[in-house]
Chains A and B, each alone.
Chain A
């Protein structure tokens, strides 16, 4: 069996950044396993620009952003990429891979899981109505359009204001489809403000907040949708139904960390993020198995994925080199207003940057972080669930903490 110091699953933005982080921290013997024919992951179908503002101070397309990371890695002889290789199983640091070369096992001192996320499909939201063609997740429509050059619809309606849906509203318009509108169940958008502006407003595409698609109708192909308005309890308002003729419904109703393999190997999953529970070294509940990027929790920007990937790479390197300091773990506990905090646990012997999301819209408010030995309030103006928040806490602030650390929003 081939052995490596580190195996990284996924050569997308998280995996490549992890490889870079580990390499720079002294781990040279790295295997990167990628299921597609090339590096880059989902970036390869994200041909719009806007990537890299934080990491490179430039606006790059997805493929160009991926190339920046690949350029760094490609001439490092001890970093090996395996393409068209799907991981079937992870067990005791042994990774079973299926590829055109056969089923092969590899062993490593540490494994970083960076396999990205998947889209919530129609079945998972219980979309009602006929079984007709023309209902796609936004990412699937993006793959058909950007990789093969085909539109999956000519008159398109979009359910959900997630970023991929917004990006596709613009893309499909530019490629010749008519995008009729976007419906969002919540009274606020779930996409980035810049995407609402650049992808909808600039193209006069209406955004229907507090609306949802009640049913889809069509014999073999979609013919129309029934759009309804909802009240503050998200219940349908009777009489608000309107029929909208269209031949395509795109869904942009959420992304879920693709945690199938981790679940199967027994890693503990956070019911909120749907990704694994990790400590401040990005290690999961199984020793030596790390996770980062959208496989850990869904990010807003690829730049943040890369930053997290590099940190996870460095942490895995420290683990392999036996440099991780042993110290007791404290748990992050969410109270009112907070959806989740990453990492879920941490040590107090270092500075930390925590990432979290709120679970509803807050105008003027404070993030209240408290516990036995710490009480901190951070003022925030206008925070929404769709924008990930970050808080840095210094070692000096944390070192008196005894027990768990609590997070809440005071409005």
Chain B
């Protein structure tokens, strides 16, 4: 495979161990003292970024963008630490990162920012992000960003991505029960929601940091406020599920009987 165009979606979250207190303010829910809380790059997004950087290093000519929806002043501070870890180009949408923003709205802003990246070849696009988030636990944003960009090959809970010579990619995903599923996708574009990956956090490299910030500081300065007003959203309906499952604990039921019962339940 030739050069890659990897876009990593990732924002900031409060530094681990901080005490978080949700509070309702004039603009909706937020974290108490959010701008005072020390922040770090979301660990899930961090794994995605380090995997992206490692892949790009193996494929000369590749480019990595980090697309971040976060308050730019706070993001700037976090970037001084993150940018020492791996080379990337920063794309910023200035907005809250408290975890109280609607997932669809967040996805819409991120997708819009990605569409605006000059030089991005969507035919080569590998869209990376966290499978989960330390502040947004729904795990839905990456899927929606992919859909908004028309990328239908999607993998979640990825721990390993191996690029083959023919351009296809082998993906190792976490699935239920602590098992892994290995899939092969014929090539880009594709979405990868990373779990922890397999790489350690890179050391701080001041040279990489300086190279990054020379081009990323203007992106921070010029970041435009993101529209997260929710004006495009409307509540359609709320309903409880039609079907409810009753859980029983039974022993020594033959597998065939269990399968039969499940099929009957599904048919019902």
Co-assembled chains A and B: no
